[in-house]
Structure formats: structure tokens, C-alpha cells
Amino acid sequence: TPLTKRIDPIPVAMYGGRQAVSMLPGGGIGPELMSYVRDVFKYAGAPVDFETVDIDPNSESNDDLDYAITSIKRNGVAIKGNIETKSKSAETLSRNVAIRNELDLYVNVLHCKSYPGLPARQKNIDLMIIRQNTEGEYAMLEHECIDGVIESMKVVTASNSERVARFAFEFAKRNGRKKITTIHKANIMKLSDGLFLETSKRIAKEYPEIEHNEMIIDNCCMQLVSNPHQFDVMLMTNLYGSIVSNVCCGLIGGAGLLSGRNYGDHYAIFEPATRNTGKAIAGKNVANPIAMLNAGIDMLHHLGHVQHADLITKAMVKTICEDKIHTPDLGGTAKSTDVIQNIIDYILTVDVRPW
């Protein structure tokens, strides 16, 4: 039950020093969603300062990109919107991919969990997607070898397959998960997906307490739609991970809800799970702010600010599950700012100070 005591005007950051984090708003709806994260963090008293880094999608130079990478290396942590790649030339690399590669963020983690009471195609889903995040079809090695013939390289390495498999099994062990399913197409891509699958089978032997099975990506897509509850943790390569993540988000409420976490050994980036730019709905006050707010909550957990994360989570869940303040993507008529105002109003009714 919320207490009625108000904190006025802004709660004081109480735990140790403040943490600087990089904020990369990206294009489309990114900047407006970031402004909501800032507002909510301010009222929740999250001891975090944002260093904003804008990347100009029209720029031919990589100066912005270099600055962003330097900033994340300095702060260790970033929250990020999607950066548009405007050029269609194969020489212009996606800045999103470049950042993940440069920081060696080799794992993407998506927790796909249903929100009770929200309109969704499937209820009571609680599964994890663990995705290789730096190679596979995202190697960005494409060329036209002769007129009208394009070759595109899918790169799978033993070392990255092992790192991501080990991450998945450690993750499952530490979080009480019971089963890992490796998703692949090793019947056709016998060498690349074959290596990924065989590596995961080898690592699975070190974790006998965790059940391991495998599934071909085609069947996996069908099973996700018809019987998603059979999945616990799903382990897969990069492009399958992108597609399966979008399927899962679609099952439980769309692009506006869930967040995704990118981890390497040294840095972490938090962002909306489906990595959309949302250009068509930018500036209209209709984008669902929850996915980016969830990215902010993930970041607070990562930094150890669990109480702030829990406070914002409570306010968010109350807003969408109980008060049912829904933007149009969830079938509602609320504006983005209505959702945020409701969250802030709730935070202001709760006394988070221990004295």
C-alpha cells in the first residue's frame, strides 16, 4: 500500500556517490523516450548522471561514433536508442553494430515475461533469450562478386560460441532456470550452425543439473506461436536472435514493452528489446515509454541500485497493469506523457527514505 507522505521536491541520492552513465538517444522516438527516463530517474532519486552523446546519422565521419565509444568505455555503462543507418552502401556500417563490436558486447539477453492483465496473444510467458551479439550474419561482410551475384558471409567462431554458451548455462544456474534450448539450422548450415550447436552441447555436459535440448529455427518459430510455455532459456546465433526476440515481444504486447541487455566482459548497454527507431511515430507523444524505462531499470539493477529499480518497477507495473494507462500500441488512448505522469505521481506517494 503506498504511503501518503510526499517527498518534496526531489529525493536525495543516498547510496554512495553518483554514477555517470552514457546516454545515446539515437533517432526517431529515442530522444523523447530518453527524456522520460531522465524525468522518472529524477523523481525516483536514482543516483545517476547522464552524459548524452548524439550521433548524427547523416554524418559520413565516424567522429560521433568514436566519441560515443570513448564515453561508454569511461562510464562502463550506457542506455541507448536505435541509431538509424541512412546510407544503403555496404561500406557504411551500422553504428549500432559497430558499437556492440567495438565494446565486444558478445551477449544479448532478453527476458520475455508477460505483464498480467495486458492484452496479449499469449499469457503467462516467462522465457529468456540469450543471443550471440557480435558475429553470425551481422559480420557485415557482403560484396557483389560478379554482376547480379551477392555474397554475404556468416561468421561463427568457436571462441564466441563457447563464450555465449557458457554465459547461458551460468545464467541459467544462477537464476534458477531449468532448461536451455539451442536454436539452430545445422541441418542446412552444417558447418556454421553445426559449430554453434556442437559447442553448446559440449558446454551443456559441464552443467548436468540443467536440461539441454535443441530445436531447428523453423520449428522454434511455430512452437513459439502455438506452445511458447515449453521454453525456458533459448540460446541462439545473432540473426535468429533478432527474429525470435521480435516474435516474443509480439506475443506479449509489442515493441513498446520489453528491454534488452547487451553484455561483454567489461561494458554493458541497455536498450529497448526490439531495437526500433519508430520514425513514423516520433514527436507525436504516442510512443510507449515502457521499453526504454525497462532498459533504465535494467541499468539500475546492473549498477546495484536495486531499491530505485524496484520503486520504478512498482510504479510502472501499477500504471500499466492496475491503472491501465495504455498508449495506442496496447490498445489505449493515453499519451506517452500520461503514462510517465502516472508513474511519477505514484513515486511521489511513496516514501523511499529509510529515516
C-alpha cell at 31: 530522444
Distance, in Å, from the CA atom of 188 to the CA atom of 209, rounded to the nearest integer, reads: 30
> What mask, x for binding ligand ATP by CB under 6 A, covers residues 230 to 259?
-------------------------xx---
The candidate with the shortest Cα–Cα distance to 347, out of 304, 318, 305, 306, is: 318
- Out of 34, 68, 78, 281, the only residue in the binding site for ligand ATP (CB under 6 A) is 281
For residue 293, the one-letter residue type is L
Residue 279 in 3-state DSSP? helix
How is residue 203 written as a grid cell? 558446454
With b for 16 or more beta-carbon neighbours within 10 A and e for fewer, the 279-315 pattern comes to eebbeeebbbbbbbbbbbbbbbbbbebebbbebbeeb
| Contact track, ligand ATP, 5-44, x by CB under 6 A | -----------------------xx---------------
Asked if 224 is part of the footprint of ligand ATP (rule: CB under 6 A), the reply reads no
Instruction: Please give the Cα distance from 266 to 106 (Å, whole number).
Output: 11
The minimum distance between CB 312 and ligand ATP, in angstroms, equals 17
Encoded one letter per residue, x for contact with ligand ATP by CB under 6 A and - for no contact, window 45-84 reads ----------------------------------------
- Residue 347 CB, nearest distance to ligand ATP (Å)? 21
Q: Which is nearer to ligand ATP, 32 or 193 (CB)?
A: 32
288 binds ligand ATP (CB under 6 A): yes
To ligand ATP, the closest distance from the beta carbon of 196 in angstroms equals 27
Question: Which region, judged by CB under 6 A, interacts with ligand ATP, from 160-168, 217-225, 280-288, 311-319?
Answer: 280-288
Asked, as a colleague might, if the bond just before 289 is cis with ω within 30 of 0, I would say: no
The DSSP bridge partners found for residue 296 are none
Interaction site with ligand ATP (CB under 6 A)? 28-29, 255-256, 276-281, 287-288, 291, 329
